[in-house]
């Protein structure tokens, strides 16, 4: 006689530290599905939010998490579904990343994460103890193999579970977005399925947490590696599947949703930037954002993303012209604000420039060259921060990864801000995203459809306009060249000779490498921003500021 099992996947957006709020989300799904499901599977660390970082090292934080789970368990009766939740858990003086099966008013099983990631943005070895290889959990007639996130990326845990006759693999996850990462997850899942011959149920977190964006994209895979269900990316979603076990003990999916299409290419990046900004603003309680609208492409795209993520009523922009600001830039900034439907003010910084010129002359200093250029940027930064103080709106910094890489940004000037949505986006990608947005209306975007960035902003040569006739390419390689060299240095960690072999001029590689190294002190002082690449500045890439390892640039050992 065949047996049946109904499994629900809950792809939710928790908030780190909001134990009560996260439990409320868990219970909301439970109450809606307890009568029709046998087990509901939630994402990694759903109770505490993920990643919790050093909050886990606070004993009273763990106390509250465990008390929260105890209260949660009291609301999970024995007549309906069990729930598989995840939380930091204290056991014999150690803290584990734990998957907890809750049913009939108590935690009926605990399984601790074995493989702890300790690379890129992950520091789990710092805060968690590694669990032993897990045993299957018997629940409602099924032997469940429970493994958490990183445990799916290696064969050791699944081999142990298969050896002990697990029948279905349940995988709670906290896997953040990177460009083209979704297929990597699927490939690892296929390997584990091929090795074990077991179906796999993968539930990932969704939502922004500081610089990370979790894109969801949970999925169900049968014992042959076929993708049965693909949940949408970048949104909360709950779905239920019905399974049947035959005489051969193999569980087969009898009913589930057809796979949803995931966002790809520029749309995937744009959705990630929207979600990261929206959750940073909303979860931190800001009423909206304000930014300097220069008439350039970075501020125009930042404004478009902000409007799409938050709505026009939550975005304010200001043009702060100097004597070097062209009429075209003034007109382009005003037109971009009009197209986006956002308020647009203008404050001349010329009086401030004259005041600084007078003060510096009194101090026997010359207000020329880079000094004069930086004063303009810092005046604008001070004005924006003052307006932020007055309104509560967060300043949105608008620098891109190309500029941040080579130090073409002014400390306490255009680097001012609480968040930078373009921090991990190269200039060439910014042009692509701007063109894409003018031709497309993103799903769930709150901004207008149609063109939102004036064409001249996209086609004119980029310039900071801090002196007459200034263009970025006066002192930098063309952006396609610059960005390719930077990706070789930052994401690929290629050496000097390898980059030159790609066709780049040795002197250009040498210059870019030096600029990248020298700008580390600026990047340490930059605000957080959305991560989209494999190696974003910050926790992904931890280089010393004081660093004399530069001889390799000239080919010396």
CA distances in angstroms from 507 to 313, 477, 513, listed in the order given: 48, 11, 10
Catalytic residue among 25, 44, 401, 522: 44
Whole-structure pTM value? 0.94
User: Mean per-residue pLDDT for 433-444?
Assistant: 96
The C-alpha angle 500, 502, 505, rounded to 5 degrees, equals 40
pLDDT in tens, 300-324: 999 999 999 999 999 999 999 988 8
Give percent of the chain above pLDDT 90.
79
Please, which pLDDT band fits residue 460 given cuts at 50, 70 and 90?
A: confident
pLDDT in tens, 30-39: 999 999 999 9
User: Mean per-residue pLDDT for 123-148?
Assistant: 93
Give the pLDDT of residue 532.
96
Q: List residues bridging with 207 in a β-sheet.
A: 214
- 534, 540 contact by CB (below 8 A): yes
- 61, 89 contact by CB (below 8 A): no
Catalytic residue among 113, 143, 283, 511: 113
Contacts of 170 (CB under 8 A, 6+ apart): 7, 39, 41, 84, 99, 144, 145, 146, 147, 201, 203
Enclosing H/E stretch for 321: none
Bridge-based pairing of strands 237-245 and 3-11 is antiparallel
End-to-end CA distance of the chain: 71
Map out the domains of the chain with their CATH numbers. 7-256 (3.60.110.10), 266-472 (3.40.50.620)
- 95, 126 contact by CB (below 8 A): no
> HEC states along 544-555?
CCCCCCCHHHHC
Catalytic residue among 25, 34, 143, 149: 149
Please, which pLDDT band fits residue 78 given cuts at 50, 70 and 90?
A: confident
- Known catalytic membership, residue 488: no
Whether residue 387 has pLDDT greater than 70: yes
Residue 411: how many other CB atoms lie within 10 Å: 16
Whether residue 222 has pLDDT greater than 90: yes
pLDDT in tens, 100-128: 999 999 999 999 999 999 888 888 999 99
pLDDT averaged over the chain? 92
Give the pLDDT of residue 554.
52
Tokens matching residue 315: 């975005």
User: Mean per-residue pLDDT for 399-424?
Assistant: 93
User: Mean per-residue pLDDT for 507-528?
Assistant: 92
Give the pLDDT of residue 557.
39
Bridge-based pairing of strands 315-319 and 343-346 is parallel
Please, which pLDDT band fits residue 367 given cuts at 50, 70 and 90?
A: low
Q: Which of 142, 143, 150, 169 is nearest to 158 (CA)?
A: 169
Q: What is the DSSP string of 55-75?
A: GGG-HHHHHHHHHHHHHHHHT
- Known catalytic membership, residue 511: no
Give the pLDDT of residue 556.
42
pLDDT in tens, 267-294: 999 999 999 999 999 999 999 999 999 9
Give the pLDDT of residue 448.
97
- Known catalytic membership, residue 314: no
Q: List residues bridging with 215 in a β-sheet.
A: 206
């Amino acid at each position: 006689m065949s047996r049946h099992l109904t499994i629900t996947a809950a792809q939710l957006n928790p908030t780190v530290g909001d134990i009560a709020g996260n439990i409320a989300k868990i219970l909301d799904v439970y109450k809606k599905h307890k009568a029709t499901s046998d087990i509901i599977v939630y994402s990694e660390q759903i109770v505490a939010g993920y990643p919790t970082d050093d909050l886990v090292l606070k004993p009273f934080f763990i106390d509250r998490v465990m008390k929260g789970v105890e209260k949660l368990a009291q609301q999970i009766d024995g007549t309906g579904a069990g729930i598989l939740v995840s939380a930091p858990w204290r056991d014999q003086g150690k803290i584990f990343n734990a998957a907890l099966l809750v049913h009939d008013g108590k935690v009926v099983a605990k399984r601790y994460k074995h493989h702890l990631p300790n690379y890129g943005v992950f520091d789990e070895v710092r805060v968690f103890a590694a669990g032993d290889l897990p045993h299957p959990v018997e629940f409602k007639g099924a032997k469940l193999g429970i493994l958490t996130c990183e445990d799916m990326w290696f064969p050791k845990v699944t081999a142990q579970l298969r050896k002990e006759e697990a029948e279905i693999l349940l995988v709670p996850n906290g896997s953040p977005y990177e460009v083209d990462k979704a297929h990597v997850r699927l490939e690892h899942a296929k390997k584990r399925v091929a090795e074990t011959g077991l179906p796999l149920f993968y539930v990932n977190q969704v939502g922004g947490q500081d610089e990370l964006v979790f894109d969801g994209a949970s999925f169900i895979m049968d014992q042959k590696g076929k993708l049965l269900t693909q949940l949408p990316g970048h949104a909360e979603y709950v779905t239920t599947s019905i399974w049947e076990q035959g005489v051969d003990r193999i569980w087969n999916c009898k009913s589930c949703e057809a796979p949803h299409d995931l966002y790809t290419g520029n749309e995937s990046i744009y959705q990630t930037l929207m979600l990261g900004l929206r959750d940073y603003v909303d979860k931190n309680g800001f009423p909206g954002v304000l930014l300097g609208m220069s008439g350039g492409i970075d501020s125009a795209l930042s404004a478009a993303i902000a409007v799409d993520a938050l709505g026009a009523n939550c975005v304010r922009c200001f043009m702060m012209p100097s004597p070097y600001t062209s009429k075209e830039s003034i007109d382009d900034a005003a037109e971009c604000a009009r197209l986006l439907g956002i308020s647009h003010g203008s404050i001349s910084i010329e009086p401030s420039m004259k005041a600084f010129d007078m003060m510096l002359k009194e101090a026997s200093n010359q207000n020329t060259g880079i000094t004069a250029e930086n004063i303009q940027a810092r005046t604008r930064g001070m004005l924006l921060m003052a307006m932020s103080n007055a309104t509560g709106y967060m300043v949105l910094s608008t620098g891109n990864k190309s500029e941040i890489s080579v130090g073409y940004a002014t400390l306490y000037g255009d680097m001012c801000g609480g968040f930078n949505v373009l921090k991990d986006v190269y200039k060439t990608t910014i042009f692509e995203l701007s063109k894409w947005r003018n031709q497309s209306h993103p799903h769930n975007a709150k901004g207008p459809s149609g063109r939102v960035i004036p064409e001249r902003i996209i086609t004119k040569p980029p310039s900071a306009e801090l002196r007459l006739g200034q263009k970025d390419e006066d002192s930098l390689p063309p952006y396609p060249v610059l960005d390719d060299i930077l990706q070789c240095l930052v994401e690929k960690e290629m050496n000097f000779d390898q980059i030159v072999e790609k066709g780049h001029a040795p002197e250009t590689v040498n210059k870019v490498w030096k600029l990248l190294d020298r700008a580390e002190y600026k990047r340490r002082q930059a605000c957080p921003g959305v991560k989209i690449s494999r190696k974003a500045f910050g926790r992904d890439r931890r280089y010393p500021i004081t660093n004399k390892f530069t001889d390799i640039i000239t080919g010396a050992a």
